[in-house]
Amino acid sequence: MKKALVLFLTAVMVSGLVACGSPAPATQEASTSESSTETAETESAENTAEGSAADGGTYKVGICQLVQHEALDAATEGFMDALKEELGDQVTFDIQNAQGDSNTCSTIINSFISSDTDLILANATPALQAAAAGTNEIPILGTSVTEYGVALDIDNFTGTVGGNISGTSDLAPLDGQADMLAELFPDAKTVGLIYCSAEANSQYQVDTIKTSLEAKGYTCEYYSFSDSNDISAVVTNAASSVDVIYVPTDNTAASNAELINNICLPAGVPVVAGEEGICAGCGVATLSISYYDIGVATGKMAAKILAEGADISTMPIEYAPTFTKKYNAANCEALNITVPDDYVAIGE
């Protein structure tokens, strides 16, 4: 009896040991399988991310344009065309117009920052200044900006801004514009310099051309307006006092070119303009660049930054390679002005 009981208990204990030991290998196998699945999923996600990066990803570009007029519109169009040609569907645009208000530029830039924009195009000086004040991390490309040293208050500007800013300039040779004015109006005595005092680059242009014109024997007078509200009175005053008017690449003037024309043309006072759009609206002649072309150049810079990882801090400001003497045929005819043969009619 005792022997039978001992055999029974021994059998129960062996059975219990086997039962207790058997799950361990199964648990280890399950753990190994689970770990393998997680590793595979992680590697798959990493490979997908790497593949997306290798394909260039999708880039969001914010465009802040100060105001709508022919020159700035052309620069924006050229920029978008060039970037779409380089990156195709990989780039999307958020186009915002500040309607001529610098404060609105700041609001637009802040919206780009909060929406994780990959690159900002600042079209015109106030837009560039707002972008520079808003972020030192997101790449900023300016266009339709005359002088970056003046716009960004950089002493002894050497052509490269550094940091997160570069871009293209719309500066045409101001001494060349002075030469053109002298060529067309050699008998004139006084030149009125009309510009918006709120635009730093307009001040730079009239100061520079004033020196060139005075060296040629002209007397120059400043006629500045702070915004579009007082432009009519300022232009009327100038037209009654001078022989010729010069208007630089000024955004407020560009937006009010028709108003300037309606004052100056009946008064018989010719306007020499800093760019083609203003000339088409109120001028007789200009030594101008192509704003579409500088937009294209800016778009190519953007593609290098976004798709090729170019370092914007080392990219110098780019300038228009060519300048063309152009004339407004209708205004020249109305004022009895004959231009030399090397001038091209606007629109041809």
Tell me the pLDDT of the chain (348 aa) as tens digits: 433 434 343 443 334 433 333 333 333 333 333 333 333 333 333 333 333 333 557 999 999 999 999 999 999 999 999 999 999 999 999 999 999 999 999 999 999 999 999 999 999 999 999 999 999 999 999 999 999 999 999 999 999 999 999 999 999 999 999 999 999 999 999 999 999 999 999 999 999 999 999 999 999 999 999 999 999 999 999 999 999 999 999 999 999 999 999 999 999 999 999 999 999 999 999 998 999 999 999 999 999 999 999 999 999 999 999 999 999 999 999 999 999 999 999 987
Q: Please list the residues that pair with 95 across neighbouring strands.
A: 63
Determine the residue type at 161: V
Strand pairing partners for 319? 169
CA–CA gap between residue 66 and residue 81 (Å, rounded): 19
What whole-number distance in Å separates Cα of residue 321 and Cα of residue 99? 30
Calculate ∠ Cα 105-109-111, nearest 5°. Answer: 120
C-beta of residue 191 within 8 angstroms of C-beta of residue 288: no
Taking the C-alpha atoms of residue 91 and residue 85, their distance in angstroms, rounded to an integer, is 10
What was the pLDDT predicted at 1? 42
Beta-strand relationship, 318-319 and 165-169: parallel
Positive/negative CA dihedral, 192, 195, 197, 202: negative
